[in-house]
Structure 1
Amino acid sequence: MTINHKDLKHQSFPSYTVDDWVTSVKNSLKNNTIDSLYSETYENIRLKPLYSNEDLEFTMVEQIPGANLRIRGFDSIGEQQPSWKVSQRIMNRNWDEVKTLLTRALANGQDSLSFDVDYLSNMEEIDFSELDTQNIPLFLLTKKNFQLLLEKALKIKTLAPDGVIATDPISCNLHQGELDADNPSILEKWGSQILLANQTLPSIKTILIDTTPYHNGGANAVQELAIALSEAVFYIEHMKRYGWQPSQTVKKLVFHFAIGGNFFMEIAKLRAFRALWTTIEKAYGLSSSEDRVAVSAETSTFTKTVLDPYVNMLRAGNEAFAAILGGIDYLHVSPYDEAFRENGEFSARIARNTQFILKEEAYLNKISDPAGGSYYIESLTNELIEKAWELFQKIDALGGIVEGLKSGWIQNEINQVLNNRLLDVEKRQQSVIGANVYANPTEQISFIHGTPEKGDCNIIPIYPVRIAQALEKLRERADDLVSNGKSLNAGLICLGSLKDYKPRADFVTGVLATGGIKTDWGHECTTLEDVKKYIEETKLPYYCICGTDDMYKEYGKRIGEWIHANYPSIHVEIAGRFSAEEMESYRSSGIAGSIYLHQNIVEKITSLLNLWEV
C-alpha cells in the first residue's frame, strides 16, 4: 500500500505513557527488576532510566536566558552574543618563549592573553607593554604572584576591559596544607592590593573563586558548588571591612570551575551555579543589573592519564563541550600531554583547535543554553541546586569556608567522595579507557616522578589527584621489571573450543593488560594431556584457566593438582567468580586464586607482579 506524501503531515506517532514503557522494559529485562536500571552518582543523586514531564511537574522551567534564577544564562537575549573567550593557558618557563607562543596563538584565533604565571621561571621579565593589552584582554590566574602581576599591569596606561588578574587566598595553597585566608597579614595585604587595583584598573576583575583544587582533589559537583558560594560570601563579608558594598565586590568576582567527565552532570553544574548565585545576590539585595559575574572553566586534570594519552584529547573535547553548553565566559582546554610534560606545539594547537571546532563548526557560539528543556538535565539541575544549597548552609553553620577547612570537615567530605571514585576505578565499575579497560601492555609510557608540594600544613591538605594514578604506578612497576630483563608473559589454559574459553580469556587478557602483563593463549585444550603439554612447552610463572563452568568441574581441580605436584613454583589461577566453598575447594587442589568481574584489579595485579619480582 502506498501513502500519498501530502498525507504525511497528518501522520503522528502513537502516544505512550510511562507505565507502557515500564511494562515493555520488564519484558526485556527477564530476570532483572526495573531497579537494576537505576544508578547512583557521586552526588548521591539517583539517576532514573527514563525522565519525562512528570519529573518537572511541580517545577517552573525557565523559558529564556536572563530571567528569574538565570538558569539559562546571565545575559538576556539581545544583550550579548552568547560566546566565550578562548583562553588557552600558555605554559613555558621563559618569558620570551611565552611572548612568541602568545603571538602565534593570537594569530591562530585565541582572543585573550593567558599564560601560566606561576610556571614562569623569570617572572621579573614580564613586560605587558610588549603585548597588545589595549585590544586583547588579559586572563591571568595566579596562586603566588598576584602582587607582582598587579605591579606589572599598573605600568600600562590602558588595558582592554573585562580583563582578569586574580588570585584566591582561600584555595591557592590547599595542596600544601596552607590556608592563606586564615593568615591576617596575608589577607590584609591581599585586601590592600584589591583596593589599589580598583583605583587604577577599575575594569579588571581581581577576586578569584577557584574551585579546581577541590575538583582535582576528588570533590563532587554538589561540593564544588557549595564551596564556591561559601568562598564568595567570605570575600563579600571581608571586603566590607574596607567599606565596600556587596555590589562592588561582586563586580570583581571570577568563578573558575574544572569540568569533569560526567557530561550531563557538568552541564547541570554550571546551570545550577547561576541559580544558586542569583539566590545569594538576592539575599544581599542586589539588582539584576548588579549580579552578573564572570564564569571561567578549564578541563579537568583529575580525569587525565599518562596511559594512552591521546585519549585525553577526547576527554578534553567532551569536557569542553559540556562547559560551553553549561555556559561560560572563558575556557581553557588542557593539552593531552599536560599530565606528564611541558606542552609541545602540537598538543597546544590541538587543544586550542578543540574550542574552534565547537565554535566555528558546531556553531555553539550561536546559541544559548541548548540543553534547556531536557527533562533529564532540568531535573539534574534542580537536584544539584537543592543539594548544593543544603551543603552551603552546613558550611555556613560551621562558621564559613575558612572554619570548615580549618576543622578538616570539608577535606573529610571530599576524601570520602575521592575514595569512592578511586575504588570504582580499581574495581572497573568506572571505566578509564587505556588504563583499566582496553589497556595496551606494549605502550611506551612517560611516567611522572614527583611528590606533592608540602608547606607548613596548618590544615589538612587537598592534594591534586588523577583518577588513574594507582594504575599508572602499576605500569611503571611493570616497565621496571621489563627493563631489568623480565618477560611479563602469562599463560592462558584455554579449555574446549574457542566459543567455550574466549569470553573469559578476553576478560583475563584485559585485566592483565592493565598491569603491563601480556597473555599467551594456549592451543585449545580438550584433555588433561593437552594442558600438560602446553605447560611443559611454555613453563611460565603464571597461568590462568579459562573455560566454561562445566569444564572447570571436570578439569579444574585435576589441572591444579598436576601443576602443584610437578611445578610447585608455578602460580595458577582460574577465571570466574565462585562461592567461598567452591574457591576453598580449588585452593586445596593447588589453584591459588581467581580473576573475576569487579575485583580490585590494583590489588590483583600488585600480587601478580610480585611473582616476576621474586
Structure 2
Amino acid sequence: MKQKNFPVHSIEDWEEAVKQSLKGRGISTKDTYENIALKPLYTVEDIDQTKIEQIPGTGFHTRGFDELGRKQYGWKIAQQIKKSSWEDLYPMLQNFMQRGQETIVFDVDQVDDFDQINFFDLKGIEFRKVPLFLPTKNHFKGLLEKLLRHPEKENINGFVGTDIISRKIAKGDIVNLDDRELNEWIIQIKQADNEFPKLKTILIDTAPYHNAGANAIQEIAIALAESIFYIESLKDEQWEPERIAEKLVFHFSIGANFFMEIAKLRAFRRLWSTVANAYQLPKEYQHVTTSAETSSLTKSILDPYVNLLRAGNEAFAAVIGGIDFLHVAAFDEAYAESNEFSARIARNIQWILREEAHLSKVIDPAGGSYYIESLTNEIASKAWELFQLIDAKGGIIDVLKSDWIQDEINQVLEKRQNAIATGKQSLIGTNVYVNLAEPITFPAEFHKHNANTSVNRLSEPFERLRKKSYQLEQMGVSPHAGMICLGPLKDHKARADFATGFLASGGIKATWSKECMNIDDMQTFMRETNYSYYCVCGNDEVYQLFLGKYETWFSKNNRKPIIDIVGNITTELFSQLKNKGISGSINKNQNRIEKLTALLSLWEVE
C-alpha cells in the first residue's frame, strides 16, 4: 500500500464523472447574493500560491491577528442573556458564569428597569479576570456612570460601547456631523478612556445592515467606511490613530452560507489591515477585536428546534473565520426571553466546538483551501471596490443620507425574499419539510425595544400565513385540501408530494385520494370529503387522458369547488385544462406567498 499513489485527474475527468452521475446534465456555477459565481470545483489553478499568507499574525492578517494563531483558549463565550427585569437577570448571569459563560454580557436595552442594574449584585465575579461585553443602543452613558461607582473600576476590561451610526440607521435616522448626540458620544469616549484605560468603547456594528438583508461585501465595506468616520472624528479631538484602533470592536452577524461567512471574516481582516497601513499603524496596533452573533435573519418561529442547527452552522463558521467573542442565538430567541434550557443549549454549542471539535487548538483551519482562499480573494476585491465607491461618494454618512446604500441593501433583501418565496432557497420547517403537528408560539409583542429596528427575518411571510391558518382553525374553519391522485402511485406521487409540502408551508393540510382510475373515483372522493379546494396530481400523459372527461363531469356537478392542476405543464395543455374547469396551478416557479395568501382567502370567506 505504501508504494501506491492516487491517480491525478484533470478538471475534464471530474466533469465527465459528474455528467455520468447526473445522467447527462453538466456542472454549472451558482450565483450568490454577492454576485459571485461559485464553481462546483476549485483547484490549485484558482489561486496564486505566492500571495497566500502562510503565517498568522503577518502580512495582511488574513489568517488571524495573533502570531501563534488563536489565543490559548480560542474565542470568548459571550452568550447574551435577554431579560426584561434586572431582578431576574443578575442571578441568571451568576448561574451562567458558573456553567461556562466567560464574559459579563446581557442585552442592556431589553432591561426595562435599567435604573435597577447594579454591578454590585454580581457577587463573586472578579472584574479583573472576567471581561465585560456590553453593546448597547440606548444606555452607553448610563452604563459608564454605573461602572464609575464600582470599586474595581481600574480593573474593568473588555468592551462597553455603542455604534451611533448603525444605532440611528436601525431606527430610520442618520447621524448629523454637528449632531449633539455625536458630540456627546465623543465626550463619553474620552471620559471612558480616562476612567477605564483597559476598556474598549468604539463599536462598529454591522448586524443591523446584515439583518436588513445586506450581503457579505456590503457588510465589510460599511464596516470599513464606519471605521474611517470614527477615526477621523476622533483625530479632530487630537487622538492618534493607534489610540483609536485600540478602542475598536467590529461586530458581525454570521449568516447561513457557511463558506461565504468564513471568507467574509478573513477578507475583513485583510482589508482592515490595508486601512491600518494607510494610517501607518504599527503592527501591534493593527489587531482589532472582532465579535460575532448568529444571524437573526435566518431564524424562524416555525419548527424552532431547527434554529439549533442553523445556529450551530453559523457558530461553526464564525469560529473557523476567527472571532474573539461569540453569541449563539437560542433556538427560541425570535419569540421568547432567555430561559435556562434554551440558553444552556446555545452555550453548549460553543463548548462542543471548543472541547469536542478542538477548534480552539487549530490555527486558521480554512487556510490553504482552494475554495476558501479563492472566495476570500474575490470578496476582498469586491468589498474594497465598494468601500472605495462609498468613500468617493463622501463617506458613510453621505451615502446613508442619499439612501444609496439602503437601496443597494434593499435590492439584495428582495432577492433573498424572492428566493424564499419561490422555494429556490430552502428554510427547513418553514417553506419545505413542514411539520404541521409542531406546536407554534405566535408572540404578541416580544422585543419591544426593537420595535423600530430593521430586522427582516426571512421566515416572517410564512409565519403570517401559518398564523392566519391557525386563527381559522380556532374559528372552526380548518384549511384542508383534497389531493386527487390520478393513475397508479408512480404517476402521481412526485407531484402529490410537492403539492402537499407546498400547501403545508401555508398551514393547509392535505388529504390524498386513493388511486383514481376514472372520473367516478374522482367524484366519489370529492363527494366524501366535500372540500372547498382540490389539487389534481398526475403526470402529463394522465392529464391528457383525463382531459376530455373533465368537462362532462363539471357540466353535471352543481357544486364547483376550486381545482388546481399540479406541475410545470405546457401552456397549451394548461389552457385546455382551464377551459374544462381547472382554476389554476401549483408549480415550482410560483411565488408561494402570493399563491397561499390567495388560497387562504377561500377559507376566510367561509
TM range (shorter): over 0.9
Greater mean deviation of Cα atoms: 441-450 or 482-491: 441-450
How far off its partner does 1:153 sit?
Answer: 1.2
Counterpart pick for 2:4 among 6, 11, 22: 11
Q: Give the Cα separation in 2 of the matches to 1:279 and 1:271.
A: 13
How far off its partner does 1:130 sit?
Answer: 3.0
Q: Contact 1:72–1:372 at 8 Å: present in 2 too?
A: yes
How far off its partner does 1:27 sit?
Answer: 4.0
* Secondary structure of the structure 1 residue equivalent to 2:312: helix
How far off its partner does 1:465 sit?
Answer: 0.5
Counterpart pick for 2:460 among 469, 472, 477: 469
- Post-superposition Cα deviations, 1:388-427, rounded to whole Å, max 9, x if no partner, equal 0000011111111111111100100000000000000000
**What amino acid maps onto 2:221 in structure 1?**
A
- Post-superposition Cα deviations, 1:459-503, rounded to whole Å, max 9, x if no partner, equal xx9721101110111001111111111122111111111121111
How far off its partner does 1:64 sit?
Answer: 1.4
User: Residue 385 of structure 2 corresponds to which residue in structure 1?
Assistant: 390
User: Residue 4 of structure 1 corresponds to which residue in structure 2?
Assistant: none
Counterpart pick for 1:290 among 285, 289, 295: 285
User: Residue 399 of structure 2 corresponds to which residue in structure 1?
Assistant: 404
Asked if 1:549 is matched to 2:540, the reply is yes
How far off its partner does 1:28 sit?
Answer: 4.0
Asked if 1:154 is matched to 2:148, the reply is yes
What TM-score, normalized by structure 1, do the two folds share?
A: 0.95
Asked if 1:138 is matched to 2:129, the reply is no
User: Residue 92 of structure 1 corresponds to which residue in structure 2?
Assistant: 83
* Secondary structure of the structure 1 residue equivalent to 2:283: coil
Q: Give the Cα separation in 2 of the matches to 1:164 and 1:454.
A: 22
Asked if 1:268 is matched to 2:263, the reply is yes
Q: Contact 2:64–2:70 at 8 Å: present in 1 too?
A: no
Q: Give the Cα separation in 2 of the matches to 1:269 and 1:564.
A: 62
**What amino acid maps onto 2:144 in structure 1?**
L
Q: Give the Cα separation in 1 of the matches to 2:178 and 2:255.
A: 32
When residues 297 and 532 of structure 1 are mapped into structure 2, their CA distance, relative to the original with a 3 A threshold, is same
- Post-superposition Cα deviations, 1:346-404, rounded to whole Å, max 9, x if no partner, equal 10111111111111111111112101111001111000000000000111111111111
**What amino acid maps onto 2:396 in structure 1?**
I
Unaligned ranges ≥5, structure 2:
none
Asked if 1:329 is matched to 2:324, the reply is yes
Counterpart pick for 2:209 among 186, 211, 214: 214
What TM-score, normalized by structure 2, do the two folds share?
A: 0.96
Q: Give the Cα separation in 1 of the matches to 2:73 and 2:404.
A: 39
How far off its partner does 1:568 sit?
Answer: 4.3
Q: Give the Cα separation in 2 of the matches to 1:234 and 1:571.
A: 59
Counterpart pick for 1:241 among 236, 239, 252: 236
Asked if 1:595 is matched to 2:595, the reply is no
Q: Give the Cα separation in 2 of the matches to 1:109 and 1:557.
A: 69
* Secondary structure of the structure 1 residue equivalent to 2:568: coil
Q: Give the Cα separation in 1 of the matches to 2:199 and 2:174.
A: 25
User: Residue 353 of structure 1 corresponds to which residue in structure 2?
Assistant: 348
Counterpart pick for 2:571 among 556, 569, 580: 580
Correspondence 1:182-581 to 2 at 5 A: 182=177, 184-450=179-445, 463-556=454-547, 558-559=549-550, 562-563=553-554, 565-581=556-572
Q: Give the Cα separation in 1 of the matches to 2:93 and 2:323.
A: 22
When residues 570 and 80 of structure 1 are mapped into structure 2, their CA distance, relative to the original with a 3 A threshold, is closer
* Secondary structure of the structure 2 residue equivalent to 1:308: coil
Q: Give the Cα separation in 2 of the matches to 1:578 and 1:183.
A: 62
Asked if 1:22 is matched to 2:10, the reply is no
Q: Give the Cα separation in 1 of the matches to 2:81 and 2:19.
A: 53
**What amino acid maps onto 1:20 in structure 2?**
D
* Secondary structure of the structure 1 residue equivalent to 2:2: helix
Q: Contact 1:175–1:454 at 8 Å: present in 2 too?
A: no
How far off its partner does 1:30 sit?
Answer: 4.3
* Secondary structure of the structure 1 residue equivalent to 2:167: coil
Q: Contact 2:367–2:373 at 8 Å: present in 1 too?
A: yes
Q: Give the Cα separation in 2 of the matches to 1:285 and 1:293.
A: 15
**What amino acid maps onto 2:361 in structure 1?**
K
How far off its partner does 1:530 sit?
Answer: 1.2
When residues 268 and 79 of structure 1 are mapped into structure 2, their CA distance, relative to the original with a 3 A threshold, is closer
When residues 565 and 381 of structure 1 are mapped into structure 2, their CA distance, relative to the original with a 3 A threshold, is farther
Greater mean deviation of Cα atoms: 307-316 or 574-583: 574-583
How far off its partner does 1:182 sit?
Answer: 4.5
**Percentage of identical aligned residues:** 49
When residues 573 and 424 of structure 1 are mapped into structure 2, their CA distance, relative to the original with a 3 A threshold, is same
- Post-superposition Cα deviations, 1:218-275, rounded to whole Å, max 9, x if no partner, equal 0000000000000000000000111001111110000000001111100111111100
| Matched positions, count | 601
Which consecutive segments of 4 or more residues in structure 1 shift more than 6 A? 451-455
When residues 206 and 584 of structure 1 are mapped into structure 2, their CA distance, relative to the original with a 3 A threshold, is same
- Post-superposition Cα deviations, 1:514-537, rounded to whole Å, max 9, x if no partner, equal 011111110111111111111112
Q: Contact 1:234–1:401 at 8 Å: present in 2 too?
A: yes
**What amino acid maps onto 2:2 in structure 1?**
K
**What amino acid maps onto 2:137 in structure 1?**
K
When residues 259 and 360 of structure 1 are mapped into structure 2, their CA distance, relative to the original with a 3 A threshold, is same
When residues 322 and 121 of structure 1 are mapped into structure 2, their CA distance, relative to the original with a 3 A threshold, is same
How far off its partner does 1:81 sit?
Answer: 2.0
Q: Give the Cα separation in 1 of the matches to 2:101 and 2:215.
A: 31
How far off its partner does 1:443 sit?
Answer: 2.9
Counterpart pick for 1:42 among 20, 33, 40: 33
Q: Contact 1:563–1:570 at 8 Å: present in 2 too?
A: no
When residues 521 and 80 of structure 1 are mapped into structure 2, their CA distance, relative to the original with a 3 A threshold, is closer
**What amino acid maps onto 1:503 in structure 2?**
A
Q: Give the Cα separation in 1 of the matches to 2:3 and 2:109.
A: 64
**What amino acid maps onto 2:14 in structure 1?**
W
- Post-superposition Cα deviations, 1:14-45, rounded to whole Å, max 9, x if no partner, equal 111122222333444444344xx210000000
* Secondary structure of the structure 1 residue equivalent to 2:521: helix
How far off its partner does 1:187 sit?
Answer: 0.4
Q: Contact 1:225–1:273 at 8 Å: present in 2 too?
A: yes
Q: Contact 1:561–1:590 at 8 Å: present in 2 too?
A: no
Unaligned ranges ≥5, structure 1:
1-7
When residues 234 and 553 of structure 1 are mapped into structure 2, their CA distance, relative to the original with a 3 A threshold, is same
When residues 445 and 213 of structure 1 are mapped into structure 2, their CA distance, relative to the original with a 3 A threshold, is same
When residues 539 and 589 of structure 1 are mapped into structure 2, their CA distance, relative to the original with a 3 A threshold, is same
**What amino acid maps onto 1:609 in structure 2?**
L
* Secondary structure of the structure 1 residue equivalent to 2:236: helix
